Amino acid sequence: MTPARVLVLGGTGEARRLAGALAGRLGWEVVSSLAGRVRDPVLPPGSIRIGGFGGADGLARWLGEHPVHAVVDATHPFAARITESAVAATAARGVPLLILRRPGWRARAGDVWHRVPDLAAAAAAVPALGRRIFLSTGRGGLAAFADHDDRWFLVRAVEQPGPPLPRRMHLVLDRGPFTRDGELALLREHRIDVLVTKDSGGEMTAAKLDAARALAIPVVMVDRPPAPAAPTVVTVTDALRWLERRRATPEGSPAR
């Protein structure tokens, strides 16, 4: 049987786990695509390509040159542009698309969350909530806070962020997973009184929410962009099942 190739749009733990599962599964081949934003990425098993495709047209071209059985978009829930490209390019090529997206976080008893639609709304909300703000939004989310000169920011990112940046800020370069004890120590050390986060979901970075709850620190929670109009699963196991099912159906053969 010819192996069925899957393009996994990656950059998340789920994408790496899916690539690992496909690479070790008889009858499947995987190509993972990374944006190339991180200098020292954790690489998934299987083939890898790195860098943007050049928008939806570029991805459609790539799919024309590299026939695949299906595309799985396992990018970060806030990576909206690549997801938009995936929806358009797979529709143009007639290639099945699956979205693998972990669920968002749910508030628990004791949480004080302020849900906001985007980073601009988060920046508008923080001055009323505190003076020392932990921004765990990733380096792409800092510009919205750059003109808050009367507030102090703790910024945590995987890589050095570029301008515009808040004037009064302390940078911690670190990559998850994080522990509750570590997050408690960080919040206490920097006397944080408000946490800003995107609703990324998942276990890797959830400890900050446990720590904020324990210290009664309010959280500004940025909602996800609208969900794409495509079949969606929340676990790697469900993604594998979907792929196997599609393969078993007559119309599930590779598109060209």
Which residues of this chain interact with ligand NAP, rule CB under 6 A? Answer: 9-12, 33-35, 37, 52-55, 58-59, 75-76, 78-82, 85, 138, 140, 198
Min separation Cβ 170 and ligand NAP, Å: 21
- Give the nearer residue to ligand NAP in terms of CB position, either 12 or 90: 12
Residue with tokens 């098993």: 45
- Give the nearer residue to ligand NAP in terms of CB position, either 61 or 252: 61
Structure tokens at 85: 């490209």
Min separation Cβ 193 and ligand NAP, Å: 24
- Cite the DSSP H helix spans in 43-129: 55-65, 80-93, 119-125
Residue nearest to ligand NAP (CB): 52
> Which helix (H) or strand (E) segment is 113 a member of?
strand 113-116
Separation CA 182–CA 254 (nearest Å): 47
Residue with tokens 């806070």: 145
Cα→Cα distances 31→46, 50, 223, Å: 6, 10, 30
Min separation Cβ 10 and ligand NAP, Å: 5
- Cβ(129)–Cβ(218) below 8 Å: yes
- Cβ(196)–Cβ(96) below 8 Å: no
- Give the nearer residue to ligand NAP in terms of CB position, either 125 or 158: 158
- Give the nearer residue to ligand NAP in terms of CB position, either 99 or 194: 99
Q: Is 149 helix (H, G, I), strand (E, B) or coil?
A: coil
Min separation Cβ 227 and ligand NAP, Å: 14
- Give the nearer residue to ligand NAP in terms of CB position, either 120 or 216: 120
Min separation Cβ 172 and ligand NAP, Å: 16
> Which helix (H) or strand (E) segment is 33 a member of?
strand 28-34
- Give the nearer residue to ligand NAP in terms of CB position, either 80 or 215: 80
Min separation Cβ 116 and ligand NAP, Å: 15
